């Protein structure tokens, strides 16, 4: 959709002037680019660290929690720890500010919350037990909302 059409629709929807609508649309486009850049940073880091079975789930329009969820496995607790450490280091290089991390002490399941992107790093047994792919309706379902890295 071109910016003019988007501006007019935003203006009508929110009953604001066209200038304010244009500014809002530009801000939305900029925020979207930041999220996409952060997602590429996450996926690149996981690839560099030899993460296994990396899946990205598009949550836009499905959840207010985040725009994307990334799920990946490490072969052991040590590998999961290394994945998390490498990812946190990469996020600093990508100028991603505040992140919240849970589970680093055990490394069975590490959650890294970037705000618009939630990353779950699992040991295979833990991933199978919680089966987040099934919970989000993506297991054995290639409907465009989830994809394995390298398939898109």
pLDDT digit string, tens, across residues 113-137 = 999 999 999 999 999 999 998 887 6
Q: Where are the domains of the chain?
A: 3-148
**109-113 and 100-102: which strand pairing?**
antiparallel
Per-residue model confidence as pLDDT tens digits over 45-80: 999 999 999 999 999 888 888 999 999 999 999 999
Q: Per DSSP, what are the bridge partners of residue 122?
A: 73, 109
CA distances from 89 to 83, 101, 119, 126, 152 (A): 10, 13, 14, 24, 26
Q: Which fold has domain 3-148?
A: Beta Polymerase; domain 2 (3.30.460)
The HSE-up count of residue 95 (CA atoms within 13 Å, CB side) is: 3
């Amino acid at each position: 959709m071109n910016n003019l059409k988007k501006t007019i629709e935003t203006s009508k929807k929110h009953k604001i002037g066209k200038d304010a609508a244009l500014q809002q649309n530009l801000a939305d486009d900029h925020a979207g680019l930041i999220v996409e850049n952060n997602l590429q940073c996450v996926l690149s880091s996981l690839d560099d660290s030899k993460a296994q079975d990396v899946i990205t789930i598009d949550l836009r329009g499905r959840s207010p929690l985040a725009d994307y969820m990334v799920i990946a496995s490490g072969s052991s607790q040590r590998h999961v720890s290394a994945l998390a450490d490498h990812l946190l280091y990469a996020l600093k290089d990508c100028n991603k500010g505040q992140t919240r991390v849970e589970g680093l002490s055990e490394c069975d399941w590490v959650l890294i919350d970037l705000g618009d992107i939630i990353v779950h790093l699992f040991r295979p047994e833990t991933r199978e037990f919680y089966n987040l792919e099934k919970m989000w309706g993506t297991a054995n379902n290639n409907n465009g909302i989830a994809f394995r890295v390298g398939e898109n």
